[in-house]
Structure 1
Amino acid sequence: MEDRLFRDAMGKFATGVTVITTLHEGQPHGMTANAFMSVSLDPKLVVISIGGNARCLSRIKESGIFAVNILAANQQEQSMIFAGQIKEDREVTFETLADIPVIPNALAQVSCDVVTEYIEGDHTLFIGKVRDIRVQDGEPLLFYAGKYRSLETVPV
């Protein structure tokens, strides 16, 4: 099977957009990702998937911490910055949640300690035990078929 067919098929699954952040050598770092899910309620665990070529991979491995920032509909620029789609320098500000850098105004911020990592194919899966969570109301930024999207309310 060709890579393009696989990518096209996976693109048919609408996802939220996250920025995964970490603190490495005293500096915040981040990357855009949509490979995130909850794993367990007791204990509270989540999983992220990071590509083998991503700069954040070694930073998360070394720091042992990460945060998942679920972006709001008005945060497409932040997604594009951390995905490397915006090349010129933009100032990025961070807050902290349980001593881990997070993106201000994200719909949800989930700070985690890495408890396990698995290398599968060309990605590393990090299972994180949740340290703390911050949530706010708003609409999510979505990604579908290679494009950013937003929710539409449909009468029932």
Structure 2
Amino acid sequence: MIYLASDHAGYELKNQIGEFLKEMNLDFEDVGPHTYDAQDDYPDFIIPAAEKVAEKPLENKAIVLGGSGQGEALAANKVKGVRAALYYGGPKDIITLSRVHNNANVLSLGARFLTMDEIKEVIKLWLATDFTEEERHARRLEKILAYEMKK
């Protein structure tokens, strides 16, 4: 399952991403916001989406959006089991490596820096890329998980 969430800056693109996921016949749930509110607070939507990912962190994914995507990535990464990667433009290798090396299960996008065409390309790449399960990368993720479990 893919979960979508944003703040006001990403609201319109979030809705467009939902349409795009429908076209791709992918299961998704829009966690919100469901109406535009210029005063909304991104943690109110991002954290619930991240919690849904954390229920099945190897199966579920989320795509979250904000003006820069930075606050959204920070909020999502506070949830145990979530590995959010930030993208707001630049080399697409960042997207590939977020999956191959880090097994990122949340993609945080900077809505003010990306066009919908770029977002579609990035989402396709992110969803199509698998974690390598290479020993060194798995070992590093296990260390992060062990730290999370201490809290």
Q: Indicate the structure with greater helix content.
A: 2
Q: Indicate the structure with greater strand content.
A: 1
TM range (shorter): under 0.3
Q: Normalization by structure 1: what TM-score?
A: 0.24
